[in-house]
Amino acid sequence: MLLFGSPHCSPCRTLMPQLHDWSRSHPDVSVLWLNAASEDESQKMVSELGATLPVAPYTPESKLIDRYKVRVTPFMFLLDERGVVRAKGLANTKAGLDLYYKELKNAGKESDQNQDFLIEHDHEHEHEDEQSLAQRA
């Protein structure tokens, strides 16, 4: 999970303790809080909130928020094992995180089913090729 936040964002500060609880109950998800602040401001926020999750500061000059097209915070992206974004959106509460997590898991199931279809489809074509070769022989 990539979560964009800021020390000056009240909903972000409210979400941080909920995010700690949520991440403990979802050990299959790694969390990285991307903080729109200087290193010093980020350290101050971490200290004030007792944050134990990884927090990475970034400055406006990095244009990170523009590259991800984030317009409000806290905003999160849930990625699958391959780094594909499977869920994204405004995340104000633990309940909101649960909804996005469900979306991630459902997307993963659909992806697995699509992968199974592709594998089966490829195997069908292998048999067709074998049959064509046998008929030509």
What is the tens place of the pLDDT at every residue in 69-90?
999 999 999 999 889 999 999 9
Q: What is the pLDDT of residue 129?
A: 46
Q: Indicate the average pLDDT of the chain.
A: 83
Q: What is the pLDDT of residue 74?
A: 97
Q: How many CB atoms lie within 10 A of CB 14?
A: 14
Is residue 136 included in any domain, yes or no? no
Q: What is the pLDDT of residue 120?
A: 44
Q: What is the pLDDT of residue 60?
A: 85
Q: What is the pLDDT of residue 108?
A: 67
Per the structure, the count of domains in the chain is 1
Is residue 62 included in any domain, yes or no? yes
Q: What is the pLDDT of residue 105?
A: 87
Is residue 120 included in any domain, yes or no? no
Which residue shows structure tokens 């991440």? 23
- Where in the sequence is the domain holding 24, given as residue range(s)? 2-109
Which residue shows structure tokens 């996005």? 100
* CATH (domain of 94): 3.40.30.10
Cβ burial, residue 71 (10 Å; 0-12/13-18/19+):
exposed
Distance CA 97, CA 74 (A): 11
The pTM of this model reads: 0.76
Is residue 124 included in any domain, yes or no? no
